[in-house]
Structure 1
């Protein structure tokens, strides 16, 4: 079956950053997203140069899917050298880099190349599936079972990249894969400004609406903005269709760039739909703190060892603080109990001796705490309870409280004795 491809693209600077370090491209056969790193020092330059260099493949004949995958990897390595050379000419760009996720279409197959944490998803039969795996430190922790997927979303080092293109690694490792596609499939390429802040369930819901692709792109960006959009957001959607399908979407002719790559393109203008332009104006959204800049960390094992050591130190401090807290609470409880017990020993009451059946003056209060009694015998008067009159017996059996030993003795003196 001959497959045709419809596409849509959009990019937004977000609500926090001042410049767009993302770049995107949607051509006839090549589709990609690149997310620059290096801040104002060159993240936008890295992603734009990479996107423009890779976009040249859109017009080239690439052969089989396997040959296309090899070509993508080869061109990315060449682009990496070009980025390093650019830094040699412009030292102020030192440390710049970029992610890359993109594919070439070859009939009903895709040749994918991926490095970094931009992602490729597939919506097939209304089910969204992540195709690429992030080259990040937290993904390494997830794979090793040290943290869960949920913990990775909020991990303080989620911005640490282990693989990127640029002035950080002379020989980056690029993942390639051959993917089958069929009519009805919708492929989503995005920077982490989308997938890092919008839940996959929400992305799936938006993509399942069956709207025109450009409307879907705008809705995905809108969703990121509604979450505060602390990072740049770039989205490329590609739908596989039967080549003779009458409902093939009408699209702008020629290649389309987005983000930082959309500038300085001869005859081209930044891709900005009416919806995206509106979103760029003042708008009430949930504000969030600026996202940490992504940075490259090639020393995986050393970095992990340092983190483990740091985590152990932090855990020791946490355990020490927890222990001190427990000791403090126990000390407070012990002090409260001691003070309470001391107060009970300032009280007295007159009652019946449990073994002697005589009138006894007790020190303390009548209550007990578990098996522990809060009173003890202060004086046994030796007066048999049966010698008291009826009222006196009832009073002693119910006990008579006193504030001191003298007051207790006065109570005993006033007890009525049966004259019979």
Structure 2
């Protein structure tokens, strides 16, 4: 079964912060879609600029890459490395030089498969039939402690260093390590990219119940963002979500085009056969007339 990107929605709230340092984007191509999200790091100057450079790089790099993209994993890795280089260059160009940083998550949807890459604690969720089918694992200090069994998932939520990420774009002179993932898609799947201001306040069960309700995707996303801000008040972080629901492809136009082409071919073949028959009859009559003469 062929599927394609369908319903789309995004939402970004400032929360209880002075500025919104989150950025997100959707870029469409002939045979692929790219989703991107960055959460500028507030502990460094101009985090919002770093996130914007990431988004600008997503658009420019995707647009100048031929589609379909032959090697999605290589494309996504190079995309985030290029964004990192552009962020570092932006910092050097400031007077005085600064060190802006951002988290990053990007997802390429192509040929019924989602390919993703990330650095930091902004997340991607692949949701199917009210369950989490796949999600990214945060590059963070508390996630490392949880993986090592030092703290529990509950302790992770209130740990004093829960906002400390171990990977990001910008800052280091060398390109950061990028974590990749991919999964085949089915009709009804929802791809969700979000910043930690969202997933830090909303549980997975609540997220699934809202997204798989009868609400339009745009209303579900807006509702979840507002709930996250309300739960974290008066210390809500920036909250950004971008979601895409997959749907079965409509092949009606393709079938009509194919049927029309076949009909035109048959008409052309019939006309050619008639012409050849007429030529044969004409030649036969001409030869018979010559023999009589």
Whether the 8 Å CA contact 1:37–1:98 is kept in 2: the answer is: yes
Rounded to whole Å, the distance in 2 between the matches of 1:18 and 1:138 is: 26
Which residue of 66, 85, 88 corresponds with 1:61?
66
The residue that corresponds to 1:237 in the other structure is 243
Which of these two proteins has the greater Rg computed from alpha carbons?
1
Deviation at 1:238, TM superposition (A): 0.8
Q: Give the length in aligned residue pairs.
A: 244
Q: CA-to-partner distance for each residue in 1:109-135, whole Å, 9 max, x for gaps?
A: 011111110011122111134510000
1:21 aligns with 2:33: no
1:99 aligns with 2:100: no
The residue that corresponds to 1:167 in the other structure is 171
Whether the 8 Å CA contact 2:124–2:135 is kept in 1: the answer is: yes
Q: CA-to-partner distance for each residue in 1:250-284, whole Å, 9 max, x for gaps?
A: xxxxxxxxxxxxxxxxxxxxxxxxxxxxxxxxxxx
1:12 aligns with 2:13: yes
Deviation at 1:55, TM superposition (A): 1.8
Q: CA-to-partner distance for each residue in 1:199-222, whole Å, 9 max, x for gaps?
A: 222112211213211111111111
Whether the 8 Å CA contact 1:27–1:58 is kept in 2: the answer is: yes
Which of structure 1's runs of 4+ aligned residues deviate more than 4 A? none
Change (3 A) 1:96 1:20: same
Which residue of 166, 189, 194 corresponds with 1:190?
194
Whether the 8 Å CA contact 1:35–1:118 is kept in 2: the answer is: yes
Tell me, what secondary structure is at the counterpart of 2:50? helix
Tell me, what secondary structure is at the counterpart of 2:40? strand
Q: CA-to-partner distance for each residue in 1:267-322, whole Å, 9 max, x for gaps?
A: xxxxxxxxxxxxxxxxxxxxxxxxxxxxxxxxxxxxxxxxxxxxxxxxxxxxxxxx
Which residue of 211, 214, 220 corresponds with 2:218?
214
Change (3 A) 1:181 1:38: same
Change (3 A) 1:85 1:61: same
Deviation at 1:93, TM superposition (A): 6.0
Rounded to whole Å, the distance in 2 between the matches of 1:217 and 1:162 is: 28
Higher relative contact order (CA 8 A, sep 6+): 2
Whether the 8 Å CA contact 1:8–1:26 is kept in 2: the answer is: no
Long gaps (5+) in structure 1: 247-420
- Give the 5 Å matches for 1:128-139: 128-139=132-143
1:141 aligns with 2:142: no
Whether the 8 Å CA contact 2:57–2:82 is kept in 1: the answer is: no
- Give the 5 Å matches for 1:1-400: 1-6=1-6, 7-14=8-15, 16-28=16-28, 29-38=33-42, 41-59=45-63, 60-63=65-68, 67-92=71-96, 94-227=98-231, 228=233, 230-244=236-250
Rounded to whole Å, the distance in 2 between the matches of 1:40 and 1:110 is: 32
Whether the 8 Å CA contact 1:9–1:26 is kept in 2: the answer is: no
Rounded to whole Å, the distance in 2 between the matches of 1:69 and 1:63 is: 13
Tell me, what secondary structure is at the counterpart of 2:99? coil
Rounded to whole Å, the distance in 1 between the matches of 2:210 and 2:39 is: 23
Deviation at 1:32, TM superposition (A): 1.5
Over the aligned positions, Cα root-mean-square deviation in angstroms equals 1.9
Tell me, what secondary structure is at the counterpart of 1:239? strand
Q: CA-to-partner distance for each residue in 1:163-194, whole Å, 9 max, x for gaps?
A: 00012352200111221111010111100010
Q: TM-score, with normalisation over the residues of structure 1?
A: 0.55
Change (3 A) 1:2 1:93: farther
Change (3 A) 1:202 1:120: same
Rounded to whole Å, the distance in 2 between the matches of 1:25 and 1:187 is: 14
Rounded to whole Å, the distance in 1 between the matches of 2:134 and 2:123 is: 7
